[in-house]
Chains A and B, each alone.
Chain A
Amino acid sequence: MKKKLLVYAFATAFALFALVGCSQKRNTVSTDGSTSMEEVIGVLGEAFMNDNPGITFTYNPTGSGSGIQAVQEGRCDIGLSSRSLNDEEKASGLTETVLAYDGIAIIVHPENPVTDLSLEQIASIYKGEITNWNEVGGNDAEIVLIGREAGSGTRDGFESITDTEDACKYRQELTSTGDVLTTVASNPDAIGYASLAAVKDTVKAISVDGIVPDENTVKDGTYVVQRPFILVTRTDGKLSDAAQKFFDFATSETAVSYINSAGVVAAN
């Protein structure tokens, strides 16, 4: 009796795992790629499924590289990438459509006299080459580097834009934007980075190379600490009806408010 029950328990558990594993059906839109786009694609997917009850929307958070590869190999309908396609990828028959821009604000304590840093200065600070605020025109105080955990999309974006991958000497690695904001707000010597839309008055977003981060400077590209969120499709291949429907929805006017609600700047 006991043995039998155990067998049932395991069987149920494995059945559940199996269900999660396969969801490939005909009337689906499958997306694959950037983990940074999780929030925006989640919001869009949810809204899309509400409007189209018959269609299942799936998102596989694998990373930009694997997402691009997945479209190439036809394993998903739409690839998601948080970087522009390079020439090689474009030549191989892929098209990019910019969905949104993600601005990353560099934030400090409101009382910090520093208001502007160059991109090089930010990189040197995070690599630990500049360790005191007075080297960049601030108070005589050690700089406290606040960052995000390994695997975070914001961290990945920040490090790739400032070219500091694997070189950052973080004092604290926090697991959410809110934690970063709270920590920077409570330490006068801290510097951190967070998604632009999440920045509040408790911290000060500094300008980079003289450009103040806001919706317009992110959109026109003058604020450099930003990256595009891209939908990748095959140039020759035709999308399935369901996927085309999602693509049209995501690039339509109605999607703008959803995209902005996810903390990024919609492209159109």
Chain B
Amino acid sequence: MKNKKQVFETVIHGIFLILGLITVGSVLLITVYLIISGIPAIREIGLVHFLFGKTWASTAATPSFGILPFILTSVYGTAGAILLGVPIGFLTAVYLAKLAPPKMKKIVSAAVSLLAGIPSVVYGLVGMLVLIPGIRALFHIPDGASLLAAIIVLAIMILPSIINVSITALEAVPKEYEDASLALGATPIETYFRVSVPAAKSGIAAAVVLGVGRAIGEAMAVMMVAGNASNMPSLFQSVRFLTTAVASEMSYSSGLQQQALFSIALVLFLFIMLINAILNFFLKRSKEE
């Protein structure tokens, strides 16, 4: 009887181990595959030419593979999305966690969850049909597909992650802190911004980094609104992100062009690894606090 139980335990243990290893295996496989397929093109083009070259003409008679425009666009685009999205998301989180009446909180939280569930292609479609003509009319430029359009779409897309993680961090602040502040005569608003927010700052920082990760990795929605010409980034110009550079050319690519796309993916992967490392750092710190 006891023996049977033990066998059962071991079997279940084994199954869980295998399931766990599937995740690890996938990550390893992707990493190894990306490195193996990303290195040859970088070697052929030259790391400096690849990373700092300003022209991308992958199918030209004399092709050139410089991805500086993509890197800068991804950085600017993400920074813009954070600049727009973080104040909105952060203040929404403070409102929901501390100020909102229960009924209101329920409605807004539901809306935020819904926002998180909308597929990115839908964001892209709405951006294409509403945002692009809107920007075109508002700023009197010939075409609305631009870095600005991408930034606005990304800012909205990262809102749910920022709001949800910030709320969790704010709600984890011990009530005693706030009570003490209120008892000392501070108003509720003063308390939230001087006591609750500083106490939750690691968690909020983690929310921002998560937003960065989401924004830099988004491809579909961006591809539909950014225009995809490989220009150096400028607010009203058509631009191409690292993600869209890979996605837009992959289907018909061949030879060195295809290898270079893998190399772009490798660069993007390194960016995301870096962001993940920063995220882990903040999460660890917020746990220690």
Question: Within the complex, what minimum Cβ distance (angstroms) separates A223 from chain B?
Answer: 25
Does A186 sit at the interface, judged by CB under 8 A? yes
Q: Known contacts being A9-B29, A63-B254, is A149 close to B249, with CB within 8 Å?
A: yes
Chain B residues with CB below 8 A from A165, complex form? 60-61
Does A5 sit at the interface, judged by CB under 8 A? yes
Chain A residues with CB below 8 A from B143, complex form? 144, 171-172, 187, 189-190
Query: Bound state CA distance, A61 and B252, in angstroms?
Result: 8
Question: Within the complex, what minimum Cβ distance (angstroms) separates B40 from chain A?
Answer: 16
Query: Bound state CA distance, A174 and B244, in angstroms?
Result: 10
Chain A residues with CB below 8 A from B58, complex form? 150-151
A144 lies within 8 A of B142 (CB): yes
Interface size class of B (residues with CB under 8 A): 35 or more
Query: Bound state CA distance, A190 and B249, in angstroms?
Result: 22
Query: Bound state CA distance, A143 and B25, in angstroms?
Result: 51
Chain B residues with CB below 8 A from A247, complex form? none
A173 lies within 8 A of B248 (CB): yes
Looking across the interface, which residue of chain B has its beta carbon closest to that of A141? B142
Does A179 sit at the interface, judged by CB under 8 A? yes
Does B253 sit at the interface, judged by CB under 8 A? yes
Looking across the interface, which residue of chain B has its beta carbon closest to that of A143? B142
B133 lies within 8 A of A187 (CB): yes
Query: Bound state CA distance, A35 and B258, in angstroms?
Result: 14
A183 lies within 8 A of B25 (CB): no
Partner among A6, A150, A175 whose Cβ is within 8 Å of the Cβ of B247: A175
For window 10-65 of B, CB contacts with A under 8 Å fall at 17-18, 21, 25, 28-29, 57-61
What 0/1 pattern do residues 235 to 265 of B give for CB contact below 8 A with A? 0001010000001110111100100000000
Does A238 sit at the interface, judged by CB under 8 A? no
B252 lies within 8 A of A186 (CB): no
A151 lies within 8 A of B229 (CB): no
Does A62 sit at the interface, judged by CB under 8 A? yes
B224 lies within 8 A of A179 (CB): yes
Looking across the interface, which residue of chain B has its beta carbon closest to that of A63? B254
Does B223 sit at the interface, judged by CB under 8 A? yes
Query: Bound state CA distance, A179 and B221, in angstroms?
Result: 13
For window 154-184 of A, CB contacts with B under 8 Å fall at 156, 165-166, 170-175, 179, 182-183
A-B contact pairs, 15 of them (CB 8 A): A5-B25, A6-B21, A6-B25, A6-B28, A144-B142, A150-B57, A151-B254, A165-B60, A166-B60, A171-B227, A172-B229, A186-B129, A186-B132, A186-B133, A187-B143
Given contacts A166-B59, A183-B128, A186-B132, 4 further A-B contacts (CB under 8 A): A10-B29, A170-B238, A171-B227, A187-B133
Chain B positions within 8 Å of A, measured between CB atoms, are 17-18, 21, 25, 28-29, 57-61, 128-129, 132-133, 136, 142-145, 223-224, 227-229, 238, 240, 247-249, 251-254, 257
